[in-house]
Amino acid sequence: MTGWKCLVTGAGGFLGLRIVRLLVEEKELQEIRLLDKVFKPEIQEEISKLQGKVKLTLLKGSILDEHCLRQACQGVSAVIHAASLIDYMNVIHRNTIMNVNVKGTQMLLEACVQASVPTFIYTSTIEVAGPNSYREAIVNGREEELHKTTWSAPYSVSKQLAEAAVLAANGRGLQNGGTLSTCALRPMYIYGEGSQILYYSVDGALQNNHILSNHCSYSVVNPVYVGNAAWAHILALRALQDPKKAPRVQGQFYYIADDTPHQSYDNLTYNLTKEWGFSPNPRGSLPLSLRYWLAFLLEMVSFLLSPIYTYHPPLNRHWLTLSNSIITFSYSKAQRDLGYKPLFSWEEAKQKTTEWVGFLVEQHNKTPKMKTH
């Protein structure tokens, strides 16, 4: 392909920006259009440093703005749709999540059809597959096992519906007589520099004498480094553009992991922060079954209060299950079809993330402390 253009949605986010960083190295790529609702000043600064090899065009707009999507897709050869609203604690209104994640994806697919964009890659999540119960383990899960979430939580449901829409659109006729090729990637929990979840864990521990929380000690997971998750998107893009590989990839979904050791979320956070003096909480957490029933009671309180007051419980059963289950997946299908192999080793990923944690600690130490009398 000569002088082709690519649109990345959610390009100002944690994963989206990493996709852009790798995308600028692609051959014959003429322009990357970066669509997001907000680009923070530090993100804009980094994007400006990437200008040179490829033209980078910032598009500030909503995924629900039909005119914006039409303009963004005009003349584009491929779309990487990484934008979505993520919410584990049911803080964001259900309709808002469903609109952005489902309706926004459907609108973007329609814009691609009208603009004759032949390639569409969707960033999904393992939450469409589970876990459904902390008592049931999924070990080395594979695509052909067809794991499916039974939760009604808006984020899980919205991603499931959006992914289904993307895969169903594969083979759809385009305005110019061509056909649309789609696939979806389901990354594991993504960690690395810029992770909001890791940021909040570090920030909370800095307020608590470097003691980390122990809310996720029962889990066994295989997280993926953000650089590897981004790399999988590049390989999926190449595969869908390759006439030989495309027939095998079209309409398929892929679990994306790497060689990060299987461990609990708590252990992962500790391994990424211990160099800076962080330590696990020596006090054990409440038994998981007790916390589960406490979460159920808090959800009931929230439901009973809902006609007169909006109460967001600090705990819910869905989050407890997500963060305390045994759930690991194989990336062998991505290896076979996409030629996927992690770009960064565990040691490299750990070093880069640990360095970023050090930056957070440094920034915290520079912040003036309030004097107490």
pLDDT above 70 coverage of the chain, percent: 98
Closest C-alpha among 205, 187, 362, 330 to residue 269: 205
Closest C-alpha among 250, 224, 253 to residue 147: 253
Angle at which helix 346-366 crosses helix 226-241, to 10 degrees, equals 130
Note the pTM of the prediction, 2 decimals. Answer: 0.96
Query: What average pLDDT does the segment 177-195 reach?
Result: 98
Query: What average pLDDT does the segment 144-150 reach?
Result: 95
Q: What is the pLDDT of residues 9-37, one digit of tens each?
A: 999 999 999 999 999 999 899 999 999 99
C-alpha distances out from residue 298 to 87, 135, 169, 291, Å: 18, 21, 40, 10
The answer to whether 34 and 11 have CB atoms below 8 angstroms apart is yes
Q: What is the pLDDT of residues 314-373, one digit of tens each?
A: 999 999 999 999 999 999 999 999 999 999 999 999 999 999 999 999 999 988 765 544
Using pLDDT thresholds of 50, 70 and 90, give the confidence band for residue 283. Answer: confident
Q: Sheet with 55-60: list strands edge to edge.
A: 55-60, 29-36, 4-9, 78-81, 119-123, 181-187, 252-256
State the pLDDT at residue 373. 46
pLDDT above 90 coverage of the chain, percent: 94
State the pLDDT at residue 372. 47
- The total of other beta-carbon atoms located within 10 Å of residue 265's CB is 23
Give me the domains of the chain, ranges plus CATH numbers.
4-195+223-259+327-345 (3.40.50.720)
Query: What average pLDDT does the segment 48-70 reach?
Result: 94
Query: What average pLDDT does the segment 199-217 reach?
Result: 95
Q: Is the pLDDT of residue 135 over 70?
A: yes
Which entry of 88, 122, 134, 155 is annotated as an active-site residue?
155
DSSP conformation letters of 301-367: HHHHHTTT-----S--HHHHHHHTSEEEE--HHHHHHH----SS-HHHHHHHHHHHHHHHHHHHHHS
Q: Is the pLDDT of residue 54 over 80?
A: yes
Q: Is the pLDDT of residue 72 over 90?
A: yes
Lowest mean pLDDT among 48-57, 183-192, 274-283: 48-57
The answer to whether 315 and 216 have CB atoms below 8 angstroms apart is no
Catalytic residue flag (residue 270): no
Tokens of 207: 């307020």
Query: What average pLDDT does the segment 276-281 reach?
Result: 96
Tokens of 365: 């130490």
Closest C-alpha among 83, 102, 118 to residue 156: 102
Rg of the chain over all Cα atoms, to the nearest angstrom: 21
Q: Is the pLDDT of residue 308 over 50?
A: yes
Question: Does residue 282 sit in helix, strand or coil?
Answer: coil
State the pLDDT at residue 1. 54
**What is the average pLDDT value for the chain, to the nearest integer?**
95
Using pLDDT thresholds of 50, 70 and 90, give the confidence band for residue 249. Answer: very high
